Chains A and B, each alone.
Chain A
Amino acid sequence: MAYSFPEEVLEHVFSFLSSDKDRNAVSLVCKSWYEIERWCRRKIFIGNCYAVNPRIMIRRFPEVRSIELKGKPHFADFNLVPEGWGAYVYPWILAMSKSYPLLEEIKLKRMVITDESLELIAKSFKNFKVLVLSSCDGFTTDGLAAIAANCRNLRELDLGESEVEDLSGHWLSHFPDSCTSLVSLNIACLVSEVSFLALERLVARSPNLRTLRINRAVPLEKLPYLLRRTSQLVEFGTGAYSADVRSDYFSNLTEAFSGCKQLKCLSGFWDVVPAYLPAIYPVCSRLTSLNLSYATCQNPELGKLISQCHNLQRLWVLDYIEDFGLEELAANCKDLQELRVFPSDPFAAEPNVTLTEQGLVAVSDGCPKLQSVLYFCRQMTNAALFTIARNRPNMIRFRLCIIEPRTPDYLTLGPLDAGFGAIVENCKELRRLSLSGLLTDRVFEYIGTHAKKLEMLSIAFAGDSDLGLHHVLSGCESLRKLEIRDCPFGDKALLSNAAKLETMRSLWMSSCSISFEACKMLAQKMPRLNVEVIDERGPPDTRPESCPVEKLYIYRSVAGRRFDTPGYVWVKKQL
């Protein structure tokens, strides 16, 4: 191997590779390619912050500019992961503050970030540009003030759906007058009122602003002041969409929206007063994305609004849309790719709206590009699922939540195995699936047999025995994330498929039938897996070893066990 391209040439070629998969492949070709590639990798994605550690990352990739980290398991979103479990970002920030002075971007999901971390970011990275905190917690508005005040070239500040301790809205005023670089600002999750004047001024001096999502506290009548100053917006999130019905408010708002010729995406809409919805009509035909999932308005106003959005690709909405509204959607929005229908009253015993399987069938029938679905409803049939599967073989994400656990097909009163079986059999590109309703081991047999591209599977209140889990672990070749709650799956299936777990990112099991003994055996057998037993009832060895553990989280790691576990997490001690 005497000759190859000069390093600079190879580096230049590699600079066109953005996908991690490609870069990883390149790194395996030979030692020199590995070396060249690692010096020029600028972006890192770490799907589980405990799978690796900062030291290993920095050692291999010395010149990183952008990092994305994910922390807690997905079920943390539904309060299944107790407080204090982990996913602290501080050690990462500390290490990077020393080794990556040129870091520009930090994107976090489900991690705990403190004000101390935010202050360290603000101080350490002179060229810091992008901070995205998706479903994070642990910080206050004081930390945000540090970012605002110190990051001279800040382009993006996105707080996602984070839980922020809102001390005051004053932090926004910490952006200096010299800060004119903002492209994207999302503060929708904040409760406190920010100084409107400060917000208006910030917006006015940010000529590159394309995304602005304000919080609920900003009243509707103030929106025109913002929109007029930033008519180049592509994405806008309103605050509370309510005010006394006044014609001057209405005409100002309509005019302001009309002026936003680039607007493609709308969100916000808390506390909707239906009379103000027509103010959006001028932009409807341009919209590709509409998030009405906080909008407590119903038909006919809701349907009328959506029917005008002929170019809509993504719709998030409450179940107030009802079957009727979904039929209108199917008739009017032929470009629809993603639909999410959230429950307005998830805890009501009786349905409060007429939203059934019919609505979803209608959309699957009328929208040829529909590929991503999240649907909360109260009834389902196998027949409906067959129809959906037949209509939409291009489905990629299918998440169905029938609100009452173990609800059968309401026509046959039998399980929904066959219906979901049809989904996995017809939708050959399916990457994500969430199951619900009455399901036996049979559905898992179908999934194991057909769902070969499935990467993420969520299971709740389903199955009869270990066989169910075994079908999934042995059959789903592409499986990366598996999360299970309240299923009668036990030790046998887990232990006999132990090797599979190393090919996956993680496995979550809660309220199942896995014994502490099995956990110990698994940890013993598989040194490259971290097996975490999460049990708030006290030390597992105070109960019989056959007693099922409350919760179990297993993930592969090259970093070994972690040392930041709280008292209720049990991990293997290395001897």
Chain B
Amino acid sequence: MTTIYENNDLATELRLGLPGTTDESKTELSNNKRSSSDLNHHDQQDSSSTSKVQIVGWPPVRSYRKNIVIQTKNSNCDISQGMYVKVSMDGAPYLRKIDLRFYKSYQELLKALENMFKHPIGIYLEKEGNTTCGSNYVLTYEDKDGDWMLVGDVPLDMFINSCKRLRIMKGCEAKGLGCI
């Protein structure tokens, strides 16, 4: 008995694109090695230079999970510069890292840092007048130009986009920055 293969033409779908392609996969050609024979080649979509060649269905994450993450990325500031910044505190042996995207106000940022380092920190807020609390420490940041600035002068969005790292500075050293 011979075996004949047939296909059912019940729903012949005409599709553009190579087999196995979906709308979600995007590719960014890079110098990286190719990981699989199953690569997709679409027109290059935007994306930062940190994306690499993407494989269909890998990593195995459900679409609704991918979409959530992407939405979050888009709805917040762009991801190019300094979202994760190092935070040092004078006298503390280890640095920490903090993601600036998640703070909607200077107060929130300050609270998070105070929690992280278990120490009150002063901040200079133009609107509120002078620094809060009698803390010895003040929050400063290094901006794109390499200058050390006092946190609180500029609108939050502007600060987030220019902040390269944070330093919780001892009060005496911060005098030169015009606080307390």
Contact = CB atoms under 8 A, between A and B. Distances in A.
B77 to A, nearest CB: 13
A516 B7 CA distance: 14
Contact of A550 (B10, B19, B55): B19
Contact of B60 (A293, A401, A520): A401
B7 A568 contact: yes
Nearest to B97: A354
Interface residues of B, number: 55
Nearest to A541: B5
A486 B116 contact: no
Interface string A32-69: 00000000000000000000000000000000000000
Interface string A134-164: 0000000000000000000000000001000
Interface class of chain A by DSSP: loop
A300 B97 contact: no
Contact of B7 (A83, A270, A271, A569): A569
A343 B38 CA distance: 22
A570 B51 contact: no
B8 A572 contact: no
Interface stretch (B63-71, B143-151, B168-176): B63-71
A274 B5 contact: no
Interface string A230-272: 0000000000000001000000000000000000000000110
Contacts of A349: 30, 32, 50-52
Interface in B74-126: 75, 84, 97, 99, 102, 104-105, 108, 112, 115-116
B2 interface: yes
Nearest to A298: B99
Contacts of B11: 84, 566-567
A486 B36 contact: yes
A79 B56 contact: yes
B102 A296 contact: yes
A79 B24 contact: yes
A440 to B, nearest CB: 17
Nearest to A434: B60
Nearest to B64: A161
Contact of B8 (A189, A273, A352, A566): A566
Contact of B5 (A78, A79, A245, A572): A572
Nearest to A403: B59
B69 A485 contact: no
Contacts of B46: none
Contact of B62 (A161, A533, A537, A540): A161
B171 to A, nearest CB: 24
Nearest to A562: B8
Contact of A537 (B19, B104, B116): B19
Contacts of B35: 404-406, 461
Given A523-B3, A567-B11, A77 B60 contact: yes
Given A84-B13, A342-B65, A536-B20, A567 B8 contact: yes
A207 B81 CA distance: 52
A348 interface: yes
Nearest to B15: A536
A44 B2 CA distance: 37
A562 to B, nearest CB: 9
B133 interface: no
B44 interface: no
B1 interface: yes
A12 interface: no
Interface string A316-354: 000000000000000000000000001111111110101
B7 A405 contact: no
Interface centre among A245, A511, A551 (most CB of B within 10 A): A511
B115 A300 contact: yes
Contacts of B116: 299-300
Interface string B1-36: 111111111111101000110101000001010011
A69 B75 CA distance: 39
A566 B37 contact: no
A541 B55 CA distance: 27
Given A79-B24, A567-B13, A342 B3 contact: no
Contact of A342 (B1, B6, B61): B61
Contact of B50 (A293, A296, A350, A406): A350
B134 to A, nearest CB: 24
A299 B35 CA distance: 33
Contacts of B105: 245
Interface string B37-56: 11000000000001110111
Contacts of B36: 405, 461, 486, 511
A271 B115 contact: no
Contacts of A537: 19
A297 B62 contact: no
A80 B3 contact: no
A401 B102 CA distance: 27
Nearest to B116: A300
A354 B68 CA distance: 21
Contacts of B2: 575
A71 B12 CA distance: 21
Interface of B: 1-13, 15, 19-20, 22, 24, 30, 32, 35-38, 50-52, 54-66, 68-69, 72-73, 75, 84, 97, 99, 102, 104-105, 108, 112, 115-116
Which 4 residue pairs of A and B lie closest in terms of their CB atoms, listed nearest first? A536-B19, A78-B57, A567-B12, A511-B38
Given A161-B64, A540-B5, 4 more contacts: A79-B22, A271-B75, A293-B65, A575-B3
Interface of A: 75, 77-80, 82-84, 161, 189, 245, 270-271, 273-275, 293-294, 296-301, 304, 342-350, 352, 354, 376, 401, 403-406, 458, 460-461, 485-486, 510-511, 516, 520, 523-524, 533, 535-537, 539-541, 550-551, 563-573, 575
13 contacts: A78-B61, A161-B62, A245-B108, A271-B75, A300-B115, A343-B59, A349-B50, A376-B59, A523-B3, A567-B9, A568-B7, A572-B4, A573-B6
